[in-house]
Structure 1
């Protein structure tokens, strides 16, 4: 049993196709099959079974796949560290997230991390949904992902770092702008700017509203939270979104919606113990530099 055997087997399990793996590895299909057969001889068990459109791991194959994938992640991380030591560079951290997250959650932390580790390399991979972020981590395309916590945890470890209350973004000249909070009944009257389709935040919002039988009237949609805020600033509608840390604007007011359960966000990794010390330090630095959302404080009631 060699590392090449395990790498080929993991690749086949994830692709579900021997030919595709052979192309990716620049090898022949029989050569890839030999890696799997060698593992089957050593374990004495059938690890893959044929399907109409490829192959899938058997029960024994699933056990070996999970162990091999986790082990290879740690070995790959160690090999990267060794290569960086050999080349005399500061190390690399690969992060998958969206542009909105970098701007509102990470900007100050990234600057602080750069001061602490001037030789380190940061590689940002853009993904516009939690699902795609998690897929990138599972595929070893990133060390860390910033995600909405709680969804699709298979094959990753998630650590909550931040809680985001829901708010309604309105122009300061909007009739709702004088409100200190928004009720769910109020939402039935707004011109709703929809969040990105299939995004975790939109799915969570729609689920909560469906449970309370609240129906929204939507006239447009936005590709991300920042775009939703811009459309609200232009007076083109109202945006229901999580309150972004460090966000301030004289034209748009963020009004709390206390009846909606807040979103929990944070880090995801394949396995925390397999992260490099540099990646762990990056996650910690970002978290220590997060700011609370700037929400309006309730105004004291005058004498009646």
Structure 2
């Protein structure tokens, strides 16, 4: 049973005439009959019955016709969508992101991509952590994920694309705000605003602090980096954070971002199952976002 057999059989059922199908397909009536006979041989059932003016599907033939027509219709739609994706004129790109990702890393890239491809659907799936984003890629719920680079999952590739230096977010009226930089030892006395539990950034930070024998006393915890910055601005504590693109707190600001040079930068980037298996649209979206990443 081949696709050609099924296509011919569906055409015969709809036309109810072998010679008409032969003319439409520019082949002989005998060739059309051979397609039907192969299906009858494989199923072991009579699929067409002859009538004075053509043919008609038998009960078994109607069952096969309905299934084949639906399957071929779905296959045709899929092939058209894939051709649109290949030519970059349609389709869907599915992206898994964290809560702050689109605002800080993707805004300009998304706008540029939308201008080029207004007909393409962008499906954003918000996940609570980089690990959840990686799981979305691993289980094929997403084509791409923007993640904090860290431990990966089987079958998922990560590409570091942006480095974020660590800073201490502190109100401008706090004594620490006047420092040009701050050492890890000097963090020991802060009122720490904890990063999201089990997040890659928190694991990264706690590992480095533990290595230096520094233990922070926490006064608050948050679900994302923006909230940590806001709490620091309100004077509810100090936040040790990766400096995100778009954060610019200079002279005259309520909050200062004091560099912590002893902490290695945190990296962010794309995660995918296989780059060479991505659709052209997904690749273009990923590259467009990278091209438009804001300068630190």
Partner of 1:276: 279
CA drift at 1:144: 0.2
CA drift at 1:85: 4.4
Answer yes or no: is the 8 Å Cα contact 1:193–1:239 preserved in 2.
Answer: yes
What pairs with 1:3-82 in structure 2 (closer than 5 Å)?
A: 82=80
Partner of 2:292: 289
CA 1:81–1:236: 2 relative to 1, 3 Å: farther
CA drift at 1:83: 2.7
Partner of 2:69: none
Partner of 1:266: 269
Report the Cα distance in structure 2 between the residues aligned to 1:219 and 1:151, rounded to whole angstroms: 28
Partner of 2:199: 199
Instruction: Name the SS for the 1:259 alignment partner.
Output: coil
Report the Cα distance in structure 2 between the residues aligned to 1:247 and 1:236, rounded to whole angstroms: 19
Partner of 1:230: 230
Partner of 1:119: 119
CA drift at 1:290: 0.9
Partner of 1:298: none
CA drift at 1:186: 1.0
Report the Cα distance in structure 2 between the residues aligned to 1:103 and 1:254, rounded to whole angstroms: 19
Report the Cα distance in structure 2 between the residues aligned to 1:231 and 1:181, rounded to whole angstroms: 21
CA 1:173–1:90: 2 relative to 1, 3 Å: same
Q: RMSD between aligned alpha carbons?
A: 1.8
Mean Cα deviation higher: 238-247 or 152-161: 152-161
Partner of 2:258: 255
Report the Cα distance in structure 1 between the residues aligned to 2:212 and 2:244, rounded to whole angstroms: 25
> If the length of structure 2 is used for normalisation, what is the TM-score?
0.69
Partner of 2:81: 83
Report the Cα distance in structure 1 between the residues aligned to 2:196 and 2:278, rounded to whole angstroms: 31
CA drift at 1:134: 0.5
What pairs with 1:205-216 in structure 2 (closer than 5 Å)?
A: 205-216=205-216
Partner of 1:129: 129
CA 1:266–1:81: 2 relative to 1, 3 Å: farther
Report the Cα distance in structure 1 between the residues aligned to 2:84 and 2:210, rounded to whole angstroms: 56
Report the Cα distance in structure 2 between the residues aligned to 1:95 and 1:144, rounded to whole angstroms: 5
Report the Cα distance in structure 1 between the residues aligned to 2:276 and 2:141, rounded to whole angstroms: 17
CA drift at 1:81: 6.7
Task: Provide structure 2 residue ranges, at least 5 long, that are not aligned to the other structure.
Answer: 1-76
What pairs with 1:103-118 in structure 2 (closer than 5 Å)?
A: 103-118=103-118
Partner of 2:171: 171
CA 1:225–1:267: 2 relative to 1, 3 Å: same
> If the length of structure 1 is used for normalisation, what is the TM-score?
0.68
Question: Which is higher, the Rg of structure 1 or of structure 2?
Answer: 2
Report the Cα distance in structure 2 between the residues aligned to 1:86 and 1:103, rounded to whole angstroms: 29
Answer yes or no: is the 8 Å Cα contact 1:81–1:91 preserved in 2.
Answer: no
CA drift at 1:82: 3.9
Report the Cα distance in structure 2 between the residues aligned to 1:96 and 1:287, rounded to whole angstroms: 16
CA 1:102–1:158: 2 relative to 1, 3 Å: same
